[in-house]
Structure formats: C-alpha cells, structure tokens
Chain A
Amino acid sequence: MNTLRGIKNILLNNLVVFIFYMLSFSTFERLKEISDIATFSFNLQMIIVYIYILKFPSHLGYGHIFFAGIIKDVVSGLPLGTSSLSYLVLCLSTSYIRNATLRPKMTAEWIAFIPALFFSNALFYIIITNFSHLSFYYTELLQNTFFTFLFFPFFYFIIINYQKNFIKDNA
C-alpha cells in the first residue's frame, strides 16, 4: 500500500515535468479543434515556466527547462539552443520578480508576466534573425505573445489548484 502511495506521489510530483517534455515533443501551439483560427496560438510552456518558477520553483528544475528547450528546437527545426535560451531568460526574469515581490497577488504577477514575456520573445526574435535564415510573420509571434499573456489566469488557477489539492508539501 505504501509502495503504491509512493509511486502515486512520485507521479503527481513529476507530472509537470512530464507534461513539459511532452509539450516539447509535440510542439504544441494551439488547440487542433480551432486550428483554422491561427490567432489563438499560445505558448503553454512559457506559462508553465513562469508559474512554476514563480510559485513552485522546487517542482520544475532549470535543467529540465533547458533540455525541453533543446528538444523543442530539434522538433521545430530551429537553431539548437534558441528555445532553451528563451526559456532561461524567462526563468531569470521570473526569479527576479519572485525575489523582488513582497506580497504576491495574481494580478501583479499577471502584469509582471509582460516584461518577462517581452525579454524572452525579444531574445527569441534576435536569435532567429541573426542565427538562422528562417523567415516568419512577426505578427504571428506578437499574437502568440498576446494570447500567452491573455490565457495566463486560466492556467494559473488550474496549476495553483492542482498544487494545492494533489501535492502534499504545498497543501
């Protein structure tokens, strides 16, 4: 019984890492059901990185973020290290916000997501334009950033509730 409980705890504790890697392998950008509406594309990995580094830094290691970024680059055909660097810059901004925040509030964290996203995507854009011959619509990157910001509260409540209800050391 104890063994089963232990396995269950390991699975629940590492679910976010598993989902994070799965997102890298699938290069998830939007829901397939609304694939005709490309404007709804958003970066779920950035939301996960931001929330976990901000609220539960012990559950998602920087090493996992780095490796997931490398995998995403391979699957997407981007220069190796682009997504990793982009996510790590997001981690840096988030870590700074965490250290500078005295009284955490969802709205303040949501607003602080804007500069964090800005630095991360600016770096992504700089790398793509200088380190590769790829061309893409800049408006798509802007839309992606906007919807990543917009969907933040939805995933914030899901993750916070998941951590409260299923992960014991955060209850």
Chain B
Amino acid sequence: MADSRDDFIIAVRYALLKKGVKQKFSLFFLIIVSVFILILDKLSFPVVDSSRAILNDFVYEVTYITSTPGKFATYLNEKKNDHFNVVSKNKILKEEIEILKTARYDNLYLKTENYSLRKVLELGNTHSQKDEILIKARVILDRESPYLKSLLISKGTKHDIIKGMSVFSKGYLIGTVIESNYLTARVLLITDLNSKIPVVIQDTNVNAILVGIGKNTDLSLEYLPDGFVLDPNKIIYTSGKGGFLSIGLPIAETYLDKKNNLYIKSLADPQQASIIYVTRGQFNK
C-alpha cells in the first residue's frame, strides 16, 4: 500500500518537474504562473487592468485578421443566397412599403398629439442635443462561445467608449459595453445569460426583468407577477428603472411558435450585427 502510494507520488512529481525533450518550461512552473495571473486578474490592480487592455487590443486585432478568410467565405455564401432571393424579397418589400406608408400617417398624428400634450403638461423635451451623440463602430468579431455571448467592436476608450454604454443595431438595443480597451471594446449581448434588463410589457403596467438564455435571439422574462399571463405579439420596452437605460426603448416581442408555445425574441439579431451604434448620452446613466 505504502509502495503504491510512493510510486504515485514519484510519478506525479516526475510529471510536474521533468521538462522533457525540447520542453523549455516545467509544468510546475507554468501552473504557478497561471495561478499567479489568475489571482492578479481577480484583484484588478490598475497596472494589471491597463496591461490586460493592451493584451486585449493586440489579441483582438490578430483575431480579426485570422478570422478574415472565414468571414470572406460567409460573405460570398450570403451574397449568393441574396442573389437567388432577390425577386421574392422585392415582392415582400413592396408590401412592407405599403404598410409603412399607412403607419407613417399614424405616427405623424401621434407625434403631433404628443407634442401638444407635453406643451399642456409643461414637460420639457427629453431629448437634448448632447444626448443624441452616437458613436458608430464596426463589429470585428462575433465568435460564439458557450460561456459568453459577446461582440468585439472596433472602438475603445480612445473614441470615448466607456463601460456601461448601450449598443444599438438597426435601431434596436443589442447589448451593453462590459469591457473597454484603448482601441477595442467588448459588448455583452442581451441574449447572454448574464444580461438582465428592467422592462415593461406593452399595454400593461407589468414590470419584469428581461434575461438572455444563451440562444441566438430568444429571451426570457423573470419576476413577473403571480398569475400574469403573457399575450403574444406584445412589444417589450425598457422601463428605465435603476437609471441604466432610458424609458421606452423597444427590445423584444412575444410570439407564438407553430406548436402555439409562447416565446420572446429580440427585435434585433445581435449575431447579424455588423455596424453598431454606441450611445453615450440619453441611453446611458
């Protein structure tokens, strides 16, 4: 018994300390270095943070370059599909234009009515010039990871992007900035498990928290009142609670699938975003 234990200890010690042929470092040394890096990263000293930001910028740029051939292949495939779908798409777009034309008149009416009511209630215009400044950025990487649904964008602290800013694609909220380096930034998508947004449901006063479930566009609602039944085809807006986002930004909608199960999906498809807008005004605290 003692002999076999000794053998085990000797074998583990051999595996840890022996460098082997052409090995420059021992396993023991590298494990210690890894633990040291992990602790430094956890402690988040200013020096470590700035070093990590430099490392992030470098690695993101290299990753962008290495992903270019794959992106080009995807681009060619999409272009081919677009070419074959152009006729059917044109028909759908014509129908959409007709619907939008009608909706435009409704919007104009509502806008005028809103303006008059604000005047009566003596409410100021909530949109200031400063608030509407948008920073346009390019998505440099949208790698799918089972642990984090995020995007890397081509602007960082150099372009006044800071942690906590809101990110929009095609007019819809897709996420928030969680890490800002000098030249790049990481955006946590609303579809990620770690994303939690206070929302309100259309035609109700019900507040809830919209959380990601790690799928491409599907989302989930938490903290709904007991007995509340969610209806299909309802838009979900930000409630602005906590001052994190402004009120009334459309984020998601409810829908029924083929089996009549109710689901919630994001209005934007974060995985398809290529050009995004980062706000530093109204939408940010």
Contact = CB atoms under 8 A, between A and B. Distances in A.
Interface of A: 22, 25-27, 29, 35, 38, 41, 57-58, 61-63, 65-66, 69-71, 74-82, 84-85, 88-89, 91-92, 95-96, 98-100, 127-128, 131, 133-137, 140-141, 144
Which range contains the number of B residues in contact with the other chain?
35 or more
Contact of B63 (A26, A58, A84): A26
A interface, over-half SS: helix
B20 A57 contact: yes
Interface of B: 11-12, 14-16, 18, 20-27, 30-31, 33-38, 40-42, 52, 55-56, 59-60, 62-63, 66-67, 70, 141, 143-148, 150, 179, 186, 193-194, 214
A63 B30 contact: yes
Nearest to B29: A62
Nearest to A61: B23
Contacts of B70: 26
A140 B194 CA distance: 16
Contacts, number: 139
B154 to A, nearest CB: 16
Contacts of B147: 76-78, 128, 134, 136
B38 A80 contact: yes
Contact of B22 (A61, A92, A99, A141): A61
A132 to B, nearest CB: 8
Contact of A137 (B67, B144, B214): B214
Contacts of B31: 85, 88-89, 92
Contacts of A96: 11-12, 15
Given A61-B22, A62-B23, A74-B55, A134 B148 contact: yes
A26 B11 CA distance: 35
Given A25-B63, A80-B38, 15 more contacts: A25-B67, A57-B20, A58-B21, A62-B24, A62-B25, A65-B30, A77-B147, A77-B179, A81-B34, A82-B38, A85-B31, A88-B31, A134-B147, A136-B193, A140-B146
